[in-house]
Amino acid sequence: MQEALNQFGGFWTQHKIEIFIKYLFAYLEIMKNQRFKLIYFDGFAGCGRIEPENSGIEENKFIESVALQVLGMEHPKLFDIYYVVDKHKKRSSALNALVKKKFPDLNAHVVRDDCNIRLIGMTDYMRQNDQYRALAFIDPFGMNLKWSSIEICRNLGIDMWILIPTGVAVNRLLMRKQERIPESWLGKLEEFYGLPIVELRSYFYREEERLTLFGSETHVQKIENAIHKAVELYKQRLGTVWKYVSTPFPMKNSAGSTMYHFVIATNYASGFGIANDIIGKKLSQG
């Protein structure tokens, strides 16, 4: 069981949870007076507990996974369906046991599978049942969410919070010398952004002419501030599917390096305003 635990990433994990839970509360407050049925979708749900690690948080005191926190929220309103996915066998069975024990009366489904596959299931279901709206929490470690899984959310009432691995993954794949990037990494970037590699190359790299004794040479340089450009591009891409994309919240480690960006995509102006307000306040706290 021990190796199945999700490690606490650092204080940025706490920021992410706080932002999401604040939004969740505001979302349910709005939805309690609406006629819609509600789905909570957690695509990378973990095992139910997050292990604190050098985090300043009391030793041996586990933090509840977001999925459990959502399941435990009775007010302003319950969701009609909780759909909680994790690909890892031990994690999903540990979570399933906790959910069954703590929330036997809720319509909660803990599923061991790939989030990308289950998103297809949820979006198909929502297309056939238009009374449903969904709040999705997409919290992967790396580039596990495929662009094709995002595209299928078009024109549906899904508010999706996404953790974008700009620093921990995208920037690391974009090597300084682009000719050294392995084929498999290029494929990963294509699958992640849903863009052909030629477009990604021209976005993240610049050609530079340098004079030498015997004429000029072309050098290909990775752009400055690639992490910032990585989130800008992802935001742009999300904007082709949803009407609104919030200000990305940068999640930095204790050394000040950006690891992830946390963002919401929504078709509701109110959700967009609320999310930007929550993120703006968090940013101003430093």
Ligand X SMILES: C[S@@+](CC[C@H](N)C(=O)[O-])C[C@H]1O[C@@H](n2cnc3c(N)ncnc32)[C@H](O)[C@@H]1O
Question: Is 87 a binder of ligand X (CB under 6 A)?
Answer: yes
3-state helix, strand, coil in the chain (%, to 5): 45, 25, 35
* Residue 115 interacting with ligand X (CB under 6 A): yes
Could you tell me if 152 and 115 are in contact, meaning their C-beta atoms sit under 8 angstroms apart? Answer: no
Site membership for ligand X, residue 141 (CB under 6 A)? yes
Output DSSP code: residue 8: P
According to DSSP, residue 48 is labeled S
Question: By CB under 6 A, which span of 73-81, 138-146, 180-188, 233-241 interacts with ligand X?
Answer: 138-146
| Member of 76, 121, 140, 273 binding ligand X (CB under 6 A) | 140
Assess 10 for contact with ligand X (CB under 6 A). Answer: no
Q: Which residue is nearest to ligand X (CB)?
A: 46
Q: Is 261 in the site for ligand X (CB under 6 A)?
A: no
Least distance CB 113 / ligand X (angstroms)? 7
Interacting positions 47-86 with ligand X (CB under 6 A): 50, 65-66, 85-86
User: What is the rounded distance in angstroms from the CA atom of residue 17 to the CA atom of residue 69?
Assistant: 10
The Cα-based distances of 184 to 7, 70, 190, 194, 233 in angstroms read 27, 37, 10, 15, 21
Torsion (CA) 12, 17, 20, 25 in degrees, nearest 10: -150
Question: CB count, 10 Å around CB of 87?
Answer: 19
Which residue stretch of 21-29, 41-49, 171-179, 273-281 sits at the interface with ligand X (rule: CB under 6 A)? 41-49
Residue 98 sits in the site that holds ligand X (CB under 6 A): no
Q: Is 19 in the site for ligand X (CB under 6 A)?
A: no
**Residue 114 sits in the site that holds ligand X (CB under 6 A):** yes
- Longest C-alpha distance within the chain, in Å? 78
Q: Which of 44, 83, 242, 260 binds ligand X (CB under 6 A)?
A: 44
Residue 139 or 159: which CB sits closer to ligand X? 139
262 neighbors 248 (Cβ within 8 angstroms): yes
The yes or no reply on residue 139 touching ligand X (CB under 6 A) is yes
Contacts to ligand X by CB under 6 A? 6, 43-46, 50, 65-66, 85-88, 91, 114-115, 139-141, 144
